[in-house]
Chain A
């Protein structure tokens, strides 16, 4: 059975406003295919499932079409929907046991749809018991009441109940949430069996592992809009939309090595409400706002890309007009992104650099995607700093071309060097040497703003400086602003440098061994702060370090350098778990070798 959803819009009416839960969603469910719906909570996933079943609450206003083969379900009334439910489309709801009636035995609830459709009671109960047994629930468990079953047993029971009438369409809402790994893999097996039986399956989940492993197609939902349609296998490896990437980065997979990164900002609700306009008419508009304070500030633009306020690669055009779904160049994804998907922040083609007779960098290609953390790892003298400084625009390459945000950096530099420089921030290895000793803290942080003349008003400048300092958890007290670097410890100076690098809100931050001069506890703090700010500001980070252990905790992707060449690039998890190059293996081995387990110190008194 084929389900075709066309321009499905669902709006929940509250007292004086509405919530837009789904916004012109198109989706097709085909027999023998698992279609997954992923997204944060509140993105409208469950609403879509309930809309197919015709089970939306009374305050839901539904537009669009849901075709079950040739029938438009949205035109059906309750009396015509009743025979379709469970026989043609069944749904396993989320939150387990709450979906079972506490006062009826499990097997009676499983058999109930059969009995209501005319199967003799005895026969129906026998079939229910057989089905429950196939789900791993013995007769004794089938006889129990819901409160006498464990979470895993309930989920198995709900699956048996959903499949009792052998429906051609199965909707599963978070079928594995709160399940242990064993039950989860059992549920995954059942879902795959359903696919083999040629059922159409809609899998609603926030478990990206499950979606990636099972789904043939995936729709990524954000605030009721589909942001990306992609093949299941690409979800974790090759997402095309920045939101999909951000979701993948936030998800704890077994082989993730870096610390989990969140997505900056919050997903708000989409409010539709009427305002009195100046001319006395009321006009109705939609905007994105926090649920508790939707009348106060923080109105995101009603127009433009919904994800734009949280996106790491937004350009001014992103907040204008509506964004349509476009097919990616590869042809297998469709993304709703003005920039055609995740953009390149930086792109090098055959870039070289030599100092006299010494070749610091052989012809090198390198690409940094917007919003990612890329680590350059290698021993001293491998060309890391040269490459980083070329990326920062501080050093010019001998040959090759550099592109920053899609523009040729050298041409850009000739035309407007200041504009380019204002988009790039740098942090150097040695904090004490990278600040002028004749400037106060305030002057150090204010300097980039003065140079680029971004803020003319002195009090606005002070505000920017204070905001930058509080971002890095430094004091904004007048006494502190008047201090000189020699009065501060190393950690504080490096934080001042971080504030300086971020004060003009750059798109790219180049950090060259930013923590190697710090002792471990200060390093841990500064790194945490750097990574938090990277997510909050949505800045692309090029992180240079000789410490692969550090890179492992920080990077989305790692590039390993040796002798002026990048010898290996890839996702951090792959580089660390399955290094391809011998040198990388040596690097990892020696990093591990440093921390040899010592013989326990005997504590004889």
Chain B
């Protein structure tokens, strides 16, 4: 990069930060301190990130990914402030879903295994979260989330060990059986899981004290609105994306892709197939559990039918449409999950269909299923793959 360009960008950044500080000072008396700090910090992080990203990418890829994740988180958080609470909630659900999709994208896309059991792994996380919170109400939220992830990883390990010897259809069959059996397993432990009624979090989930105290003490909108849940979900998703990006680029990630493309060759170069497969399986179930635990937190409760096999089908659909084996595909899938019903009810309104009619109420399934078929037939790498394809074509054309 030319020094000229760097200098110009630097100057622009400094100017932006100064403007942000001035704005913050101006609005500080009329609003909470936290908001003012937020504006300055967000602008600063954004500037630093854009300034340094191109250079960092080659020299310090990990830092670059961290900066990129943070940039994404900051932007989404910022957008979240201005969305109405319903959209925020959708965003939170979608962010949690994108974590699950990341795990599946890694498992299927990077290592070539198929799992139809992700609804059950989500359920493991969701119920661990609820059960732990009901028995130890004082544990901080982040610790409980971590415990849920560990539980998911352990169940993944348990199921992953026999699964490593299986290929394609047999693995699909086993994970399917697990997903279908999961609600029955919950029923067997009904004293823990609350049977068919499920569990509620002991009290309405509240934001941590330090989060509240930064603003006017006990600011009621913060404790009742869903914004803080959205923030937690987005930040956790950001961290999850950061680790997954590193995993994809790491030695393990490369080994996985080799296994997917040619497992015999992978074995010849000294990669232990069973070990790599177990790792992939455990990572994906841990990610699914994290997503499920977030759902419990967001919904303030968990109910067994949510984690039935149908959810696995939804998860699979989303990652395929988004772009299997890619990180951005998981992001796209999460956004689709968050807002698809809004789009579909908009379509129903536009076309003048009777929204309570048989056809309109089944439109969700028809569109999802149809997209799934079309994606696999015409763009196997989903939206992410298609965008990448056109981007490359456009670049090649302009350069050549």
A and B bound? no
Interface residues of chain A, those whose CB is within 8 Å of chain B, are none
